[in-house]
Amino acid sequence: MAREITVTVNGTPHTLEVENRLLLVHLIREKINLTGTHIGCDTSNCGACTILLNGKSVKSCTILAVQANGKEIQTVEGLAAPGEMHPLQEGFKENHGLHCGFCTPGMLMRSVELLEDNPNPTEEEIRWGISGNLCRCTGYNNIVKAIQWASAKMRGEETPSTEPEFVS
């Protein structure tokens, strides 16, 4: 069973014929060929597939492509023009918020909504806010720091130092 749907991905409308059972993440990765959105599990636990659907962060492995019909999708590729960076992308780079980069697109997309809802979150709020996204590499310290850094930048405030802090 297939049907025609129209989705707008990063501002560009796409009309495609899709199988009813096609997952949104596969639509994005394999039909629209945007492979920045990743797949890390089959139980909706890891968040590697997180995108924005009409501005809300969702796990795109948990939604059917047909449910996105008529909706706006934003993926990591749409965060900034190629070669440019959204403050969150910059924050992750400056604060070493990524190692292998596999969880990163999902973390970034989740953080976009987190900062929209709460432009000045505490560490605790950030930790709860990203608790639906798993990272196996970073130990989360620097992801928290990256989001704090981006939130300062987005509020137009001075950004905290990005030098690593050591006890001595």
Partner 1 sequence: MIKCKTSKAISGMGHSMKRKEDARFLQGKGNYVDDIKLPGMLHMDIVRSPYAYAKIKSIDTSAALAIPGVIAVVTGKDLEQYNLHWMPTLMSDTQMVLPTDTVMYQAQEVAAVIATDRYTARDGKEAVVVEYEPMKPLMNAKKALDADAPVLRTDKEGKTDNHIWHWEAGDKEATEKVFNEAEVVVSQDMYIPRIHVVSIETCGCVADYSKVNNHLTMYMTTQAPHAIRTVIALVAGHVGLTEEKIRVISPDIGGGFGGKVPVYPGYVIAIAVSFLTGAPIKWIEDRTENLQADSFARDYHINVEMAGTKEGKILATRFKVLADHGYTDASANPSKFPTGLFSIGTGSYNYNTAYMEADAVYTNKPPGGVAYRCSFRVTEAVHAIERITDRFAFEVGIDPADLRMQNFIKKEDFPWKSPTGWEYDSGDYHAGLKLAMKTVDYWKLREEQKEKKAQGKLMGIGISTFTEIVGAGPSKDFDILGIKMFDSAEIRVHPTGKAIARFGTKSQGQGHETTYAQIIAEELGIPAENIQIEEGDTDTAPYGLGTYASRSTPTAGAAAAMAARKLRAKAKKIAAYLLEVSEDDLEWEPGKFFVKGAPEKVKTIQEIVFASYTNHPQGMEAGFEATHYYDPPNLTFPSGAYICVVDIDPETIEIKVRRFVAIDDCGNIINPMIVQGQVHGGLTQGIAPAMYEELIYDDAGNILNGTLMDYLVPTAIESPSWETGHTVTPSPHHPIGAKGVGESPTVGAPPAIANAIVDALSHLGVRHLDIPITPYKVWKVLQELKG
Residues that bind partner 1 (CB under 8 A): 19, 21-22, 26, 29-30, 33-43, 45-46, 48, 75-77, 79-80, 82, 85, 89, 92-94, 96, 98-105, 108, 123, 126-128, 130-144, 163-164, 166-168
2 binding ligand FES? (CB under 6 A): no
Q: Smaller CB distance to partner 1: residue 70 or 99?
A: 99
Contacting ligand FES within 60-99 (CB under 6 A) = 61, 98-99
Taking a C-beta distance cutoff of 8 angstroms, is the pair 29, 35 a contact? yes
Residues 85 and 61: beta-carbon distance below 8 Å: no
Distance CA 54, CA 132 (A): 19
**Which amino acid, 26?**
H
Q: Where are the alpha helices (DSSP H) in 29-140?
A: 87-94, 104-117, 123-129
- Does position 39 interact with ligand FES (CB under 6 A)? The reply is yes
Choices 44-52, 84-92, 115-123, 153-161 (CB under 6 A): range interacting with ligand FES: 44-52
- Closer residue to ligand FES in complex, CB, 102/149: 102
CB burial of residue 154 (10 Å; 0-12, 13-18, 19+): middle
**Backbone dihedral angles phi then psi of residue 29, each to the nearest 5 degrees:** -75, -40
* Residue 27 contacts ligand FES per CB under 6 A: no
> Which positions touch ligand FES (CB under 6 A)?
39-41, 44-49, 59, 61, 98-104, 135-138
